[in-house]
Amino acid sequence: MAIAVYIWAAIERVKECRAGYWTIVLGALSGFLYYWGSLGHYGVLPLCCSLFGYYVLVGRGAGLLPVHGKAVLVTGCDTGFGHALAKLLSDMGVTVFAGVLDEDGAGAQGLRRHSSKDLQVLQLDVTDHSQIEQAHRYVCSHVGEKGLWGLVNNAGILGYPADGELQPLATYRRCMDVNFMSTVEMCQVFLPLLRKSRGRIVNMLSMAGEVPMPMLCAYGASKAALGNFSRVMKMELDAWGVKVAIVQPSGFRTNIFNSDKEWSCHQEEILSNLPSDTREDYGEEYISSLRGCLLEMANQSLEDLRPVLKDICHALMSVAPKSLYTPGRGGWLLPFFYRICPNAISDVILKRLFKLVDAQPEGLRMKVSGTE
């Protein structure tokens, strides 16, 4: 098992670096021949060289491209990853077009106070076609024939944690619209500019798109769709010299969790849309208890956003970017575990691992107590 984990992790880390593949192959071949005595003690030399090469190519990275003259568009910069990334890239000397949902909001004002000529705030609701077209015209007028170097599709919503049966259809549609369809449109609109520079697309995914997480059905489904789209686009755009990278963080604390106040409106929406028999099976007490999921998710999340920002910058500026980045606690281990484990085992573990509420639906409690 340990060998399998090592090999998988090694391959993931050098997917975009052909030299890295040869490093692993040489190391494995040398070790095999040395083990069977074909090279004798001479096999130690190529084995050590390959391990050193692996360290240089993978552990230390393949170097970064110069930032001068490069422009990047980042969506969802009001808060969280997008807000911090816009500031970081502008400090590096990159021209940043920071798309915000509210150009008069606190997030936009904070970006303007950053006082960088390389940071420009744009009104950009990624679900509004007219705003996307307006942003496209603005970016075109500034980048000219150089094109746009990077597009970071960061805007996204979580919705509110609840059983998949309880979530209103409007929540599914909203998650798909913001997390998936908007990214498709952003890519289609800005790809002509990205082709000019042979630039980069970075799509922000989530472990919930690869690992089924209870209470996050709508969010996970939208991220799964985005993951498949991103992997197909990576293959299709390779011929154009445009690289596509996926950043798939584990749990980090951002404003995507929304606020406890807004839960009351969502709870009302759930109750008003439920059929009477479903409402009776779950019970209002259980539905009200879902409010605690927000707090539990926030408590389990990491506050330090730097691992995510570092990986996004690497995807944008590295000479040899990876196709998949998994920053955060268990970012690569949990998806790997889910892929190799039988469903009967992984389902039990995931249900316990992501148990956000202790309450049970009314119908299940009645069955356990034998009153039904």
| Residues 88-117, mean pLDDT to the nearest whole number | 93
pLDDT band for 60, please (50, 70, 90 cuts).
very low
- pLDDT, residue 316, reads 98
pLDDT band for 32, please (50, 70, 90 cuts).
low
Task: Write the CA distances from 3 to 6, 63, 341, integer angstroms.
Answer: 5, 28, 16
SS3 152: strand
CA atoms in the 13 A half-sphere facing the CB of 151? 31
- pLDDT, residue 338, reads 79
CA gap 211, 335 in Å, rounded: 6
The answer to whether residue 372 is domain-embedded is no
Residue 329 is given by DSSP the state T
Task: Write the CA distances from 313 to 64, 150, 186, 274, 363, integer angstroms.
Answer: 9, 10, 20, 44, 49
Residue 57 CB coordination number (10 Å): 20
| Residues 158-162, mean pLDDT to the nearest whole number | 85
The answer to whether residue 288 is domain-embedded is yes
For 225, the domain range is 71-353
Q: Evaluate whether 147 touches 73 at the Cβ level (below 8 Å).
A: no
**50 and 101 inside one domain:** no
**pLDDT higher at 18 or 184:** 184
SS3 259: coil
**102 and 48 inside one domain:** no
CATH of residue 156: 3.40.50.720
pLDDT band for 1, please (50, 70, 90 cuts).
very low
**48 and 77 inside one domain:** no
Distance of CA 120 to the CA centre of its chain: 24
Predicted TM-score (pTM) of this structure = 0.80
Residues marked as catalytic: 219
pLDDT band for 14, please (50, 70, 90 cuts).
very low
Domain count, the chain: 2
pLDDT band for 175, please (50, 70, 90 cuts).
very high
